[in-house]
Every structure is written in C-alpha cells, then in structure tokens.
Amino acid sequence: MPPRKRRKLDQKPKTKSSSKTSSLGNKDTPTYSHWLMKSEPETRIEKGVDVKFGITELKAEPNQTACWDGVRNYQARNFMRDQMKVGHKAFFYHSNCKEPGIAGIVEIVKESYPDHTQFDSKDIHFDSSSKKDNPKWFMVDVKFVRMMKRFIPLSELKALHLKHKSRGGALQNMFLLTRPRLSVQPVSKGV
DNA sequence: GCCAACGTTGGC
DNA sequence: GCCAACGTTGGC
C-alpha cells in the first residue's frame, strides 16, 4: 500500500459550543454568507437505500424545501451549525455523477437543528455515538430558488481555478477545488 | 469500476 | 499524541 499523505485537520471538533452565534472560538475564521452544498443527482445504492437527491428532487419536495440531513464531517457541520443563517444563499452542486457542477441556487430557510437521522438505527446515517441530550450532527433546511441560467460544469470551474491561481481571481482559493471532499463549504470573492 | 486523496479510528 | 490502517468521497 502506498504511503499516505498526512495533513492536520483544519478544524478539530469544537468543545461543545452551545451558543450558535458567530463566536467560533477562532477570531481569524472569516464569516461567510454564501455557500456551496453537494448532493448526488444520480442513483447510488448505499446500504440498500438510493441516496439520489438532485436539484430536481429538491424542487419536487413540498414547498420545494428539504432538510439537509446526513452531513457527517466536522468541518462541514461546523459551517452549517455555526455560520449558516436564514436568508443565506447556496449553490446546489451535483457530485458523483456524469456531469458534476453547479446546477442551481437554494436558500437557507431554517437554521441548524439536530439531524434526526443520527438517532435512527435504521437510517444509513445512524451514529450510535451521538446522544440525544448532546447531538453530534446538525442540519439546516434549504429551499429551491432557481436553476442556474446555465449549468456550470466542474471542468469550467477547474479551468478558471487554474487561471486564477496564476493570475489572480475570485476562484483561486475556491474550496471546491482546494478541499475537494468538503460537502458543505463557503464561497466568496476570495481575492 | 478504479483509485487518489483524504478524514477518522484506535492501538500503542 | 502519534500514526498506520481503514473507510469514504467523488472525479474520471
């Protein structure tokens, strides 16, 4: 097996910060108001369950609104729990599919609250280590706003990222390209 | 379907 | 607290 590269976590799980205000413990952490959230628009069976949830599925939900359950990554959770506010907008990104990229825009319509699937032993995102009086995982509710006028493929974002890295530009530090596995992430002009 | 690049776990 | 092993993400 090849040696594995090791990196420090950018964010260790915080000691339980019961307050959801922007006091993140780290004063250097920028405050964000725009986001990118990944979801899989194509059928994939995980533990017998189809995890498909593209922007079409969101649009088909009652009130075009859904809870963003299943996030099981501390950094992604922290962004949702600590910084996402009602009214914030997020890109809806299609991942793990034939044509990955940004499909549309959603709005945060409910701030973070405990993700119920962590307590459901039948759910694929069940977490036996999480206790109801001290939930580990949180989610927000998002509402469909609109499709992109034009689908923005990852390939295009990648090309811009390359260009902006050498010549400067908004996408030079885009998390999508610098932290490719983070499923909930901020976006900014980032110059 | 493959597999690189991680993020997490657990032995020590 | 280190770090090897393992599990997962997600592009290709």
At A16-53, the pLDDT tens digits run 333 333 444 445 567 899 999 999 999 999 988 999 99
Q: Where are the domains of chain A?
A: 34-152
**Which residues are within 7 Å of strand B by their Cβ atom?**
A 2, 4-5, 7, 9, 73-75, 129, 179-182
At A39-91, the pLDDT tens digits run 999 999 998 899 999 999 999 999 999 999 999 999 999 999 999 999 999 99
Residues 12-41 of A with CB under 7 A from strand C: 38
Q: Chain-wide mean pLDDT for chain A?
A: 87
Q: Which CATH architecture has domain A34-152?
A: Roll (3.10)
Question: Do residues A91 and A105 touch, judged by C-beta distance below 8 A?
Answer: yes
Backbone angles phi and psi of A150, in degrees to 5: -140, 130
pLDDT at A28: 56
